[in-house]
Structure 1
Amino acid sequence: MQQIHDADVLLLQAITLASKRKPATIDEVVVAVAMIQPRLPTEAKLLEAFVRLSSHGLVLAQGEGYTLSTEAQYIMAGISPKSDANERVYRIKEKLAAHPSAGDQTPVQPIPLDLSKAIIAWRASIPPLTKTEKFEARKEKEKEITRANNKAFGRPGRPRTSH
């Protein structure tokens, strides 16, 4: 493959997870993506990943679902789900880079409206934040704003004192 995006790796992992026994529906793929990475990529990035991977013959449409081709299963073989997430991404990208660029397959992708509905349904299923989670999120946001302001105005962080 030519250029390998993080969404490609994420989609391969999600379809691997969701299509163990049968082809995964788009709802199951979205849930699997969220299990791997709670911060979902944009719909456009997921749709592009479907097109890229399917045009290289790695993702197949079967009935109402999606599954990995034999080549994609070979790429995912030997990737331990218990290993570090960064290590998994690196190994998958490494194998994708070695995959021959045969972009002559007919691309498949979910209907954009179906993907939008699946993402909305997944977001609606998330329980609301607790008071502690809201407090921590607000605290983290304030830290980010402070860092950005310090960087914008050329102020370093706290000066270090040497002893």
Structure 2
Amino acid sequence: MEVYGKVADALKNLKENRLSGLKPPQEFFDHRQLSRPRDMNDATHRATYNTRHFSGNYLLIVLILAVYALLTNPLLLIVIAFFAGGFALINKFGAEPVSVGNKVITQKTLYIALFVIGIPLLILSNPFSVFLWLVASSAILILAHAVLMEPGIESEYASVEQV
């Protein structure tokens, strides 16, 4: 049960720190602020400012792309569910050794069986290609938005130290 509390705390922390800074769609998709940067220095300045300013929105984009990647690869989704369910069932019911005939099945034996079945399925589901697709598509979308979106007037005062 301790793991579930840590996961809940991590999700709560994510919501409070990252997703609380979500900008409204009107600001994020403001087509009037789209323009080509003048030079590489301008593009770097825009990317730096916009990645901080829209960090919550960019995190949401990555999460949406991750869900899309999982839904379009059903074998990977099944393998993840198999591992999660296997770990949960072994932790819940396999804590004590069980005798079946002359064999004693321990928790270690159950974990080995889970991995012997799950690892080949995981390899067949191509998790590395899904990960690389997620990284590349997120980077392209986020960098394109960050570079093409002009920072607001408040970006000029972002470097001024507040008293």
TM-score interval (norm. to shorter): under 0.3
- Please report the TM-score for the alignment, with normalisation by the length of structure 2: 0.26
**TM-score with structure 1 setting the length:** 0.26
Q: Which has the higher helix share?
A: 2
The higher radius of gyration belongs to 2
Structure scoring higher RCO (CA < 8 A, sep ≥ 6) equals 2
